[in-house]
Structure 1
């Protein structure tokens, strides 16, 4: 018999420093109108003296508080990121230490922008395996560490931040139940979105200069097409598998990558615009942090209400994508 997994608390944290589109105009060959009309982004939060760990810790503390849980009760910590403080040790191990606990399961998960939804399914599997599990999952990114500020087609898109959720087992009727998750990936078109530098296929030696391969490189049109098609298809799949239609969805919460993608997915799914949550204008694309930031933001603001059926849809490098259904 399956065990039900429930989100007990949500939290998010973004750096204090803001880069508005007007700020970017000062050192990037772009302007507010160009950015806003193509992406819907008006500002993004940028780290100054914070690291990925700092962001993850702040979001996790808020999620634990919302769950009414102490860090010592956790059995697992999963951090979804590709911009951790360092390759080794993992950000999850550092987060465990920062939270003041030891001897738990800690792992980082890399699925780019889909990382949080991937982590959500891992947590659900672990809870099904051991219903006593209490799991912290966090999507945290310092994307500005991997942004080429001379590439105006990408640098305007990204921001820094973290979002976290605490999950545990529960009864079917309890709020926050993760009804289902479907994940997918395709390595065929993977090279349309890359950060090649620092990988073993692109080794470097002491004294090498930093090249463009160390930063985000993206074929925007191709990614747009893959994102819209994949997010729409997997959302329809999860709804059909659970005997729902889009009319049953109270909130569509897509990955906050680009307003055009968000609107296209909503239109193809035939979800009314007023049911689609959008905060990309305030935070930009925060990759693995995007979905949990949006979830926590939507819940805090009252956009997601008690009893709402929430459909998550995400897409990221890899290429990876996924969808989840959550009953709040």
Structure 2
């Protein structure tokens, strides 16, 4: 196609989550904690956990199929699939598998890894393919199964994470541009604050030559530093994006943040001088689902009738890397 200078509309949304729910009460049977302790510090009450037969690829495909149907498109209309995930089924990537499961036979697909910032990074990446006229219909998916990489004896992390997937459909438009502005940042000097590190062992091949093999260790996090980082950097990124969009706080209908912790979301809203009723949150139901959390919360808000066509949404992802990003868009 030749659609250079196209704008972006967001025309469909869908989500998927495993059936199994792990409650705070369940967690109190695993580690020394309580429903009151978890909820008061995080805002979480349950999280969905994948069983041994559920895959990241299928969760992502289910969310994508629902988003495509919501956009009144067919899978063969899709030109590109961008899968934001840190937990693929295959270390080489899961996007191509998702493309096959969806039936998007015309689409190219690739994975993007930016942890909890992944969905916003993927949305911004997808927008460049649309604006340069390369693709017309793009599916952006955020999906993670972090329960695979949780230390279930560590009460500081095991209470936080859940599994899920969410997706949106972005479409080229000559008449409007609904992605109004964005910001992206990275700071590798703080990488150690949130990790899922590889741990290797040496293996001798021949005299004088060794290689390494191993696996990944469970998630580790310095919660205090991550909180400080998020509360300082996220409002700043959103304010910069609003400035680029020519908007002020009063123009924002909804604040849609990565669902890491309710206290973080409340603190960001307070710094932006946004009332708490403008925060979109489903953290009580899903916990922290990493790259999936923003589209999961968006889909829930749409189904509840909160978000309506034309609403202006300030969204931000933040997490491992450390990375953070913000985008201002209008729904529909």
With structure 2 as the length reference, what TM-score do the two structures score? 0.92
Among candidates 2, 5, 24, match of residue 5 of structure 2: 2
Which residue does the alignment assign to 1:195?
196
Structure (1 or 2) with the larger CA radius of gyration:
2
Mapped pair 1:38 → 2:35: no
Which structure has the highest strand share of the two?
A: 2
Classify the secondary structure of the residue corresponding to 1:221.
helix
Which residue does the alignment assign to 2:165?
162
Among candidates 51, 73, 76, match of residue 55 of structure 2: 51
Question: When the two structures are aligned, how many residues end up with a matched partner?
Answer: 319
1:230 deviates by: 1.1
Question: More displaced, 91-100 or 156-165?
Answer: 91-100
Q: Distance in 1 between matches of 2:201 and 2:196?
A: 14
Partners of 1:251 and 1:277 within 8 A in 2: yes
1:204 deviates by: 4.3
1:218 deviates by: 0.4
1:101 deviates by: 3.8
Q: Distance in 1 between matches of 2:49 and 2:135?
A: 38
1:144 deviates by: 0.1
Mapped pair 1:137 → 2:137: no
Q: Distance in 1 between matches of 2:176 and 2:91?
A: 41
With structure 1 as the length reference, what TM-score do the two structures score? 0.93
Change (3 A) 1:301 1:205: farther
Deviations 1:239-295 (A, max 9, x none): 111111111111111110001100000000000011111111110000000111111
Change (3 A) 1:130 1:63: same
Partners of 1:6 and 1:168 within 8 A in 2: yes
1:306 deviates by: 2.1
Among candidates 285, 298, 316, match of residue 319 of structure 2: 316
Among candidates 62, 65, 75, match of residue 61 of structure 1: 65
Q: Distance in 2 between matches of 1:184 and 1:230?
A: 9
CA RMSD of aligned residues (A): 1.8
Q: Distance in 1 between matches of 2:213 and 2:124?
A: 39
Deviations 1:79-136 (A, max 9, x none): 0001010112x21011111123445321100000010100001110000112542111
Q: Distance in 1 between matches of 2:219 and 2:151?
A: 7
Question: More displaced, 149-158 or 299-308?
Answer: 299-308
Classify the secondary structure of the residue corresponding to 1:106.
strand
- Equivalence map 1:189-228=2 (5 Å): 189-197=190-198, 202-204=199-201, 214-228=217-231
Q: Distance in 1 between matches of 2:264 and 2:175?
A: 33
Classify the secondary structure of the residue corresponding to 2:200.
coil
Q: Distance in 1 between matches of 2:175 and 2:294?
A: 23
Q: Distance in 1 between matches of 2:300 and 2:89?
A: 25
1:298 deviates by: 1.1
- Equivalence map 1:101-120=2 (5 Å): 101-102=104-105, 104-120=107-123
Q: Distance in 1 between matches of 2:90 and 2:221?
A: 23
Classify the secondary structure of the residue corresponding to 2:183.
strand
